[in-house]
Amino acid sequence: MKKQTTTTPKLDFTSKWAYAPSPESTDHVQLKEQYDLFINGKWVKPVKGKYFDTVNPATEKKLASVAEATQEDVDKAVKAARAAYENVWSKMPAKERAKYIYRIARMIQERAREFAVIESMDGGKAIRESRDVDVPLAAAHFFYYAGWADKLEYAFPGKTVSPVGVAGQIIPWNFPLLMAAWKIAPALATGNTVVLKPAETTPLTALKLAEIIKESGLPDGVVNIITGAGATGAAIVNHPGIDKIAFTGSTDVGKLIQKAIAGTNKKLTLELGGKAANIIFEDAPIDQAVEGIVNGIFFNQGHVCCAGSRLFVQEGVADVVIRKLKDRLESLIVGDPLDKNTDIGAINSKGQLETIKKYIKIGINEGAEMYQSSCAIPSKGFFVRPTLFTNVSQSHTISREEIFGPVLAIQTFRTVEEVIEKANNTPYGLSAGVWTDKGSKIFSLTTKLRAGVIWANTYNKFDPTSPFGGFKESGFGREGGLHGLAPYLVMN
């Protein structure tokens, strides 16, 4: 019998099939030219009459002008939230509160496409992500916390719980709608009222959420959404009528907030930066791990606080993992966020693009070896090629500081002890990933890695039932799950 021979075809990415453009339609999207502040259930003009532009980072075109709230507007919003808390929301039976939260969840689902498209237009993230991750998860958070509203006594048995009062909530630009949901849903379920400020560069989905909240018939003043820059956030933090601050953003601003409220009675949760270790052992399923690494750092342009930005590969498989990663990088599509084929969309802002480029330069200058995909990137808009660095050591800036972009720093290790030491050698402690065939190794590592979330043989998976939050300079307090209720309650 003739012996059959098979040859493995050599992968040639230069001749890969080009995908036909597949842009998501924007016809169904309704954007106003100008957005006012959502205070006490109404759209009101900012006292000082100032507005700023929000732009599409993929086209650099203006999408809308948005009100800039000053201290006077913050004061109005806090007063509205206080009145709603005292007169309506804290008195309403919990099961009635739950109905509103369910309604908001359903309305997000009904308008999911519009939310997804606006999220991608305003923030630059690939439509596949806003459509499949951000928007469904935002709805899921409202559904999940609606379920808790009338069961708080079971959540904390033996305790008497009551709401904190008025919550001031400040969120970043990387998951605009999802972060709003993470903040608003548990606050409402526990009987608090809210003043929320989205980030300056991504206000539109929060303002769309305000439209839904108005349509849902939620009593006036229970949720107030005000836009503005850092000063607006600071005015919320410093307002004496606020009982609790929930902040997600950078560690630097988190520290400022902590100082600002020291000595006051305000409660605080901080969800801050990260520099996560993604650890690949020799016995890991390599192909899945490579996908996990890609998902860990290139997902959402690396604009992810828990991004697996430090890769640790065990020496025996380092060559093969790095080769496969480079091949995979070549196949990633960078471009129009609204195109359904796009893997990596636009960087959120010009400023952030400059930060990423600065770190890439530092990486090269400090002697690390850079590899970038050879893909074409659009000439207009804020884009960067997915980038990885080898020959990296613990002391390199790119392995110490949060870049918040699609830039991966790769190191190797030999033993479990060595990788634990290296992975923990960071001021951050938000998340980590472990890839191995051995359950025992996973359990041993999860107890030794100083990180709030540890994924095993997967990465960047979120669920409303599971708590999320940091160790060390990644912040304190948990959001999500049963744990996410506690910061909004006074317990006796």
| Binding status of residue 122 toward ligand NAP by CB under 6 A | no
Helix (H, G, I), strand (E, B) or coil at 176: helix
The entry of Mg ion, ligand NAP, none that residue 122 binds, CB within 5 to 8 Å by partner kind: Mg ion
Nearer to ligand NAP, 197 or 244 (CB): 197
- Per-residue binding string, Mg ion, 117-146, x by CB under 5 A, is -----x------------------------
- Examine the residue annotation and report whether 306 is marked as an active-site residue of this protein: no
> What is the number of the residue whose Cβ is closest to ligand NAP?
233
Catalytic pick from 305, 375, 402, 479?
A: 305
- Examine the residue annotation and report whether 305 is marked as an active-site residue of this protein: yes
Q: Which amino acid is at 253?
A: V
Bridge partners, 479 (sequence order): 468
Shortest distance, CB of residue 383 to ligand NAP, whole angstroms?
19
| Binding status of residue 234 toward ligand NAP by CB under 6 A | yes
| Cβ-based burial of 71 (10 A; exposed 0-12, middle 13-18, buried ≥19) | middle
Q: Which amino acid is at 96?
A: E
| Binding status of residue 172 toward ligand NAP by CB under 6 A | yes
Give the helix ranges, DSSP H, for 58-217.
71-84, 94-110, 112-123, 127-129, 135-148, 152-155, 176-189, 204-215
Shortest distance, CB of residue 176 to Mg ion, whole angstroms?
9
- Per-residue binding string, ligand NAP, 272-311, x by CB under 6 A, is xxx------------------------------x------
| Contact set for ligand NAP, span 393-452 (CB under 6 A) | 402, 404, 430
Residue 492: count of CB within 10 angstroms of its CB: 7
Strand 310-314 and strand 277-280: the pairing is parallel
Element of type H or E holding 293: helix 286-298
Strand arrangement of the beta sheet that strand 61-67 belongs to: 34-35, 61-67, 51-56
The entry of Mg ion, ligand NAP, none that residue 116 binds, CB within 5 to 8 Å by partner kind: none
Half-sphere exposure of residue 416: CA atoms within 13 angstroms, side-chain side? 15
Whole-angstrom distance between the N-terminal and C-terminal Cα of the chain? 82
| Binding status of residue 250 toward ligand NAP by CB under 6 A | yes
Q: Which amino acid is at 235?
A: A
Nearer to ligand NAP, 203 or 221 (CB): 203
| Contact set for Mg ion, span 196-215 (CB under 5 A) | 201
| Binding status of residue 455 toward ligand NAP by CB under 6 A | no
Nearer to Mg ion, 201 or 251 (CB): 201
Contact 177, 207 (CB under 8 A): no
| Binding status of residue 229 toward ligand NAP by CB under 6 A | yes
Helix (H, G, I), strand (E, B) or coil at 390: strand
| Binding status of residue 253 toward ligand NAP by CB under 6 A | yes
Q: Which of 133, 170, 207, 280 binds ligand NAP (CB under 6 A)?
A: 170
Main-chain phi, psi angles of 122, to 5 degrees: -80, -35
Q: What would the two tokens of residue 66 be?
A: 């948005």
Catalytic pick from 271, 402, 473, 479?
A: 271
| Binding status of residue 54 toward Mg ion by CB under 5 A | yes
d(CA 125, CA 122): 8
Judged by the rule CB under 5 A, the positions of this chain that interact with Mg ion are 54, 122, 201
Judged by the rule CB under 6 A, the positions of this chain that interact with ligand NAP are 170-174, 197, 199-200, 229-230, 233-234, 237, 248-250, 253, 256-257, 271-274, 305, 402, 404, 430, 470, 474-475
Catalytic residues: 271, 305
